[in-house]
Amino acid sequence: MITREPFEYPENASRLECLVLAARESMADTGRAVLLGVRAIRMLPDLRRPKARAEFMRQMYICGIESLPVITVVALFTGMILAFQTGIELRRYNQEVYIGSAVMVSMLREMAPFITGLILGACVGSAMAAQLGTMTVNDEIAALEIMSIDPVRFLVTPRMAAMMIMTPILSFYTCMLGTLGGGVIGTTQLNVPWAQYMSNAMEFARAKELFVGLVKALIYGIIITTISCNEGLTATQGAVGVGQATRRAVIISFLLVLIVGYFVTRFFY
């Protein structure tokens, strides 16, 4: 699961052989990532140990509290933009009252987990990849292995648990703030009274939408942790390698958040 050597093509391989090898290597890498995620989740019960809990709490703080400011701003503005955009259209039919439901539903189902995923991918995932990558190239991971301390249990599991708890919470928080932001635009720009906006929003807030949103957020949390930790643990070749690992972690997380988001929505509707 942890590689310490960069992947190499044999010297006299033809283009075609290289292509085949590259495809095989990327599949192997995907397999390693999935395995890493599964192992980290299977070791979640280990967090009951008091010694493991300290690290878990630290990770909760890092991905929850430290990303709160940026999430707050993005959530408010997303709600405001959503309300404004839909409001302009709805005004043509004199239906501005419905912005409440428009904001609420798109926030619950799609936008809140999406924003949470992107922000946590960018802030927390990149930090995970950079930290684990630095530890890998500095032999710190090797040192753990020599001490027979499983790096997955010791490093990945607490991060996984923290993300699995924090993404749904932050997604819900994003949703509430987005709705609030929409309400502000509604009352100040679109002449929709606050009470009317809220009652309209609450009327369309179904448990199912909330559920789908939270499930999505949870899946995003698992994906981001798995990808970022895998990239970090497979970093090679010093500082350059850490940079590449971080870059790849963010890109792959973003793409997967987009693609998986679509398929989860498809699955439920």
Ligand X SMILES: Nc1ncnc2c1ncn2[C@@H]1O[C@H](COP(=O)(O)OP(=O)(O)OP(=O)(O)O)[C@@H](O)[C@H]1O
Binding site for another protein (CB under 8 A): 4-6, 8, 11, 51, 58, 135, 138-140, 142-143, 145-149, 154
Residue 178 CA from chain centroid, whole number? 18
Give me the helices (H) in the chain, please: 15-42, 50-60, 68-91, 99-106, 112-120, 126-137, 140-146, 151, 157-189, 194-204, 207-233, 238-268
Stated length of the chain: 269
Judged by CB, which is closer to ligand X: 6, or 193?
6
Please identify, among the stretches 3-11, 64-72, 97-105, 213-221, the one whose residues bind ligand X according to the rule CB under 6 A: 3-11
Q: Applying CB under 6 A, which of residues 101, 187, 189, 236 lies at the interface with ligand X?
A: 236
Judged by CB, which is closer to another protein: 25, or 203?
25
CB of residue 3 to ligand X, shortest distance in Å: 9
Residue 9 CA from chain centroid, whole number? 33
Q: 228, 249 in Cβ contact below 8 A?
A: yes
CB of residue 248 to ligand X, shortest distance in Å: 18
Rg of the chain's alpha carbons, rounded to an integer?
A: 22
Please identify, among the stretches 1-9, 147-155, 182-190, 224-232, the one whose residues bind ligand X according to the rule CB under 6 A: 1-9
Judged by CB, which is closer to ligand X: 4, or 24?
4
Judged by CB, which is closer to another protein: 14, or 148?
148
Q: 87, 96 in Cβ contact below 8 A?
A: yes
Query: What residue ranges bind ligand X (CB under 6 A)?
Result: 4-6, 236
